Chains A and B, each alone.
Chain A
Amino acid sequence: MFTEATQIQFGIATVLAPIASFVLIAALAMRRPMLAKIISLSGGLVSLVLASLLLFGVGEPGYKIQATWDWLLKEPAGFSIGILLDPLSLVMLWVVAVVGFLVQWYSVSYMEEDANQSKFFAFISLFCFAMMGFTIAPNLLQSFMCWELVGLGSYLLIGFWNHLPSAATAARKAFVVTRLGDLGFFAALLLAATGLGALDFGSLADSNMASGWKMGLAGYDYGVWISLALFLAVIGKSAQFPLYGWLPDAMEGPTPVSALIHAATMVAAGVYLLARTSFIVVLGSESVQTVWHGLAMLAMLTALMSGMVAIVQSDIKRVFAYSTISQLGYMVVGIGSGAVVAGMMHLFTHAFFKALLFLTAGAFIHAAHSNSITEIARAGGAKLKLPMIALGAGSLALMGIFPFAGFYSKDAILEHLFVEGDWVLYVAAMFGVLVTSYYTARVIFLMLKVPADDHLGHHLHVGGWMKLPLAVLTVGALVAGNLWMWKVEHWFHVPHGEHGNAVLITTIVSTLCALAGLYYSARVFYWKKSEDPMANWVGLANVLREKWYLDTAYDKLVHNIYLPFTAFLNRIELRFVKGALDGIGTGSMAIARTLARVMTGEVQQYVGVSFAVVAAVVIILMNR
């Protein structure tokens, strides 16, 4: 429908629209919130329209176009910037554009009473730019730069209410922990540049590079080292065990931010990076496959651990935050075990239903002024019709109940595990489905069952600008899976074998697991026929409430090792380094004083010095 040049221009415009919004807001609209909203939404709309034109207008199997421009230097490594459009990036770009736009729309109501609205919209635009720039990056360097910018956006928005100490702390924690992962990304970048001599995905994925990936380095090959380095990045950004602690704390940010950054897009960046670099498994040696499978195991562990923590959370956003960690785990399980397309599909559907759940939570919080599920229910949250419908749709999608979106994508991953005969992961994943269903249903049943307290006198209402995103995403939670299968799936060359049994058995078992979780949850929280299992297993409940003691462990680490170490360094700094630097400073001042004394203002002396220097140079040269 469009020529290649047009598509490239569309892609570039999609990415640049939000940064233009950011600059315009910063320059013109910092004190004019109305204008800031208009600019921000216009930028978002441009991105949305163009990304949709690209997604629905062009894709075909094997589609891939790319344009790059040399940046800084020609040689040696060839730093370039550019744009890569292929099924993977188009889908991701569209997800970011859709959710980004809806979240901006929603924020018009959500942030209406905030004094710094302009700043909020500027930051959101900046984030969208960074995320889209990451999505279309054709090489590791550009990926890395945008990856860092995304982290910055996240930091700024988590700490948006920086007058709250908890928000400031959470922002710092998120930044530091994800930075730890970024070190891994940087290591991968250096390894690829020095060892393989290429940074762009095209050459890295080229079959000529296979020998390079198998090249040895300190006992293992480059494939393994770069994979491990990338995994660190993924674990940090996509909040996997053991670095997931920052994500629940990040809920201190405004809820639309949680929906956009900490559910739909940024935390999925790690998953996207894995999908982008999954060619390593194809090109690398067998040990690379083992390492990737190891990552899948770790992700499965993450999924189960965080899913169980979600059971005991009373804060509605934290339930969804742990649920996000758990679902990200599923995506990584998919990609790590070789089902790249299924993993991406889950990313796609999850973006819709999890953004929906967060925005719903936001609607409740905005109405009831509390994050606690029971408080919201007591304030009469269950009377809000649209949010309750949205909550229901989002929850069913999260549980993976037919015909909601999560059903298709989750089952795609499970089927792959079945076909591969990976029974450990298969059984664990099925158990995870049960847990997911249990904690998700718990939220709904608590909302329904806790009686509304009319004396509180709340007149709950949903902000006008919140309705459209909720409605759109509710539809999304219903049809995103079908949309993927109709429009996107055939672009990827998915080998279709005869997996009739796998599909049938997986569908039946996973639906049964989900229903079992739902039923048990209903018995405990709705019908109150069973006792809350957490009341019986006090030990487990405590462990879960303490989030598997991970935060405690980190605190201990920081207090007992890190802080003493920094104190030690500080002593060295004060004793030696500062002394040396002070010396240099005093020395410089003395030199400056001496030299300045030459500048007396006497022109005779100036000329004399000039003559003397020239004469000295000439004499030295003549007598050599």
Chain B
Amino acid sequence: MMMQMLPEFAMLGALLLMFVLTLSNSLSEKSARAATLILAALVAVAAWAAMSQQGELFSNSYRLDPYSQFFKFLMAVGLFANAIFGWPLRSIPKQQRTEYYFLFFAAGLGMMLLASAFSFLVLYVAMELLSYSMYTLVGMRRQRTESIESSVKYLIIGASASAIGLFGVSYIYGATGSLNFGTVASQLASSSARSALLLPGLVLVLSSFLFKLAAFPFHAWAPDAYESSASPVAMFLASVSKLAGIAVLFRLVYLVKPYLPEFETVIGLLALASMTFGNFVAFRQKSVKRLFAYSSIAQAGYLMLGMIGFGASAPEAVVFYSVIYLLMNLVVFSVVLELEREGEDPQMASFQGLYRRNALMAMALLVALFSLAGVPPLAGFFGKWLLFSSAATAGHVWFVVLAILNSVVSLYYYLFLVKAAYYGEVPEGAVIGSRGGPRLAVLIVTIAITFLGIYPRILTEYIGSLNLPKTMLP
């Protein structure tokens, strides 16, 4: 078991070590970051080493398969990348900067457990571990009341979602007598044993996932949380924390989808609602972080649409998009961090003339935004193409048409930022030049986004070699 759960144990070890380190008052933020980088790298190595582990643990409530192991690796890399890109920490109060890294690993452990959760109980516990770390992270900017307010809102909405989810679990338990994903799926397969309570139960459970993904109708926390939390935290929220929600939601959807066409439709409709809501409201935002919150609501919609695809296409599409989603958000939020000023959040106006101040960041922003909007030949285009064609092969052509129209709408506000960055006049007193951000890392990720768009096979082939359509099924 030690070997099988190596990534989780590594993460736990890192968490405890960080805890001990934070106790010492003399730990500077720089050394905390260095420690985080080393520990995250070690976790990533552990996750890589455990890549081929398969099996079921704890009386079949915890499942190791290529899908979970790949996501764990991706999460570890995501944590590492967040420690690199989420710098400098100027918007977090000084005395809390080391704590920030501690919560990093706490959330990371929750995410990893979610990726393997195969029972509603494990799911609940892991999700709460992740959520509580996130509530604390969002409330970290204690000198600002908005930060605390949004943290409390986040908590209330999260608690409501959990409550509805647990209520759903009780239905499922009542209907099947089990909390295990596999048992639920096998009961669904035999139509005679199927209870009428199962579908409503699943829909209620969906609430918890929608909350984690910030998808409609549990999206309302996101704009406030993104805006009022410190930018490195917002980056964390937008990038790596999403992976956990994606991983576990898709696992459940993939299991029950063949037997429940209604469930498929519900997810498709909620996906459309997320996209439409996110894209249209993003239009009107002045604060850049709010804008990206709405953008991420819309992106969650695209991902959910890809989940209801047919056969082998859905796992490939979802995993591919997860990877590039991580990359794109890392770049976007690095630019936000770069433009952030002491105690002030970047507005649309802060992007004015970015090109003339910092050409590299402007170029990275351009690539990331075009990729988010799905402009070829960038990775986002191919990712969306996979998601949409996955849904289309399952017969949801109208959903796809509406999703494509949505992409067009999203282009408007993404281009608005690009226009400001490239054609705007540099405002007076604007932040000039590099602010110690990780320029080389941004460049590398930008190149990766371009390269994965031109030659996506390098990733799709790897995903194909995981044989997800088979290995994900019990």
Which A residues are within 8 Å of any B CB, using their own CB? 70-72, 588-589, 591-593, 595-596, 599, 601, 603, 606-607, 609-614, 617-618, 621-622, 624
Contacts and interface: CB of A to CB of B under 8 A. Distances in A.
A178 to B, nearest CB: 23
B280 A595 contact: yes
B164 A589 contact: no
A606 B153 contact: yes
A72 B379 CA distance: 12
B157 A70 contact: no
B157 A603 contact: yes
A601 B156 CA distance: 13
B89 interface: no
A622 B152 CA distance: 34
- Most chain-A CB neighbours within 10 Å: which of B221, B266, B281, B457? B281
A596 B284 contact: yes
Contact of B457 (A72, A595, A611, A622): A72
A624 B409 CA distance: 34
A610 B218 contact: yes
B161 interface: yes
B281 A596 contact: yes
Interface in B255-298: 262, 266, 277, 280-281, 283-284
Interface string B428-455: 0000000000000000000000000001
A603 B218 CA distance: 11
A247 B301 CA distance: 52
B226 to A, nearest CB: 13
B220 A606 contact: yes
B200 interface: yes
Interface in B146-182: 152-153, 156-157, 160-161, 164
Given A592-B281, A614-B207, A72 B456 contact: yes
B284 A606 contact: no
B237 interface: no
Contacts of B284: 592-593, 596
Interface string B132-157: 00000000000000000000110011
Given A607-B156, A609-B220, A613-B217, A591 B280 contact: yes
Nearest to B262: A621
A599 B457 contact: no
A618 B203 contact: yes
B interface bracket (residues with beta carbon within 8 Å of A): 20 to 34
B455 A71 contact: yes
Contacts, number: 71
B458 to A, nearest CB: 10
A610 B161 contact: yes
Contacts of B224: 601
A241 B448 CA distance: 45
Interface string B192-211: 00001001100110010000
A592 B412 CA distance: 13
Given A610-B207, A610-B217, A621 B266 contact: yes
Interface in B224-253: 224
Given A588-B409, A614-B207, A606 B221 contact: yes
A607 B221 CA distance: 10
B281 A599 contact: yes
Report which residue of B161, B224, B280 has the largest number of chain A beta carbons within 10 angstroms of its beta carbon.
B280
Contacts of A601: 224
Nearest to A27: B443
Contact of B160 (A592, A610, A613, A624): A610
Contacts of B203: 614, 617-618, 621
B391 to A, nearest CB: 18
Contacts of A609: 217, 220
Contacts of A596: 280-281, 284
A577 B262 CA distance: 40
